[in-house]
Amino acid sequence: MYKILIIEDDKDINNMLKQLLETNHYQVLQAFSGTEGVLVHNGNVSLILLDLMLPGKNGEEILTELLNKYQVPIIVMSAIHEVDKKVDLFELGADDYITKPFDNKELLARIKLALKHQNGKENKSIISFKDILINKLDYTVTCNGKLLNLTKQEFELLKTLLENPTRVFTKSMLFELVWKDEFVDDNTLNVHISKIRNKLKECNQEEDYIETVWSIGYKMKN
């Protein structure tokens, strides 16, 4: 189910949008300021509805902070009609702009279209295995719905294994693919694999993901 984050300081509008979206089978997160929206925003958010006129930081600042955190569609909501303002927001990275007051059916249609476009991008950029999802665009990894905090090498190792989950990767192959020209030894690789396993286990203790192929290397455990 898609999860939509509403960032709108007007409580009546925020609650109205929440009810509208939930009636149309979306999950909803609510934030009533830009700062709160940045804090609430996480790897499971599918789309953001962002009010432009927020207390504290302005909408442009919040838009930039949100896009720096995760790459998800953002639809800006505002009573401002100026074309130049809309162009500026598109250049900052907004996916769409809807003028207040808006028709609910139009808003739902714009949300549906933005999610469809995002799915087209993610189909090429997301790798999945069991309950692991890797997004190659924003370098995020989730397991069992929980966000993993991986180092660059850990991310590259897991991505390499997931891109060919039935293949056995020798240690020398992983050295070349992940570390390239940098010199590493067997112990370095083993430590990285162990850390990845531990982080995955913290997300799902019932599942094993990486299999050691004795004296050869590693593969994903099917």
Nearest Cα to Cα of residue 189 among 164, 165, 169, 167: 169
3-125, CATH topology level = Rossmann fold (3.40.50)
The dotted CATH code for 130-220 is: 1.10.10.10
Q: Where in the chain is the domain with CATH 3.40.50.2300?
A: 3-125
pLDDT tens for the chain, 222 residues long, are: 789 999 999 999 999 999 999 999 999 999 999 889 988 887 778 899 999 888 877 778 888 888 877 778 999 998 887 777 777 888 888 889 999 989 999 999 999 998 887 766 655 677 888 999 888 877 889 999 899 999 999 999 999 999 888 889 999 999 988 998 788 888 999 999 999 999 999 999 999 999 999 889 999 998
Whether pTM > 0.75 for this model: the answer is no
List the helix and strand counts (H, then E) for the chain: 8, 12
Determine the longest span between alpha carbons in the chain, in angstroms: 66
Q: Where are the beta strands (DSSP E) in 83-195?
A: 96-99, 126-129, 132-135, 140-143, 146-147, 169-170
Residues 6+ apart with CB under 8 A from 197: 209, 210
- Residues 220 and 212: their CA atoms lie apart, in Å, by 9
**In sequence order, what E strands does 60-100 have?**
74-78, 96-99
- As a whole number of angstroms, the distance between CA 101 and CA 82 comes to 15
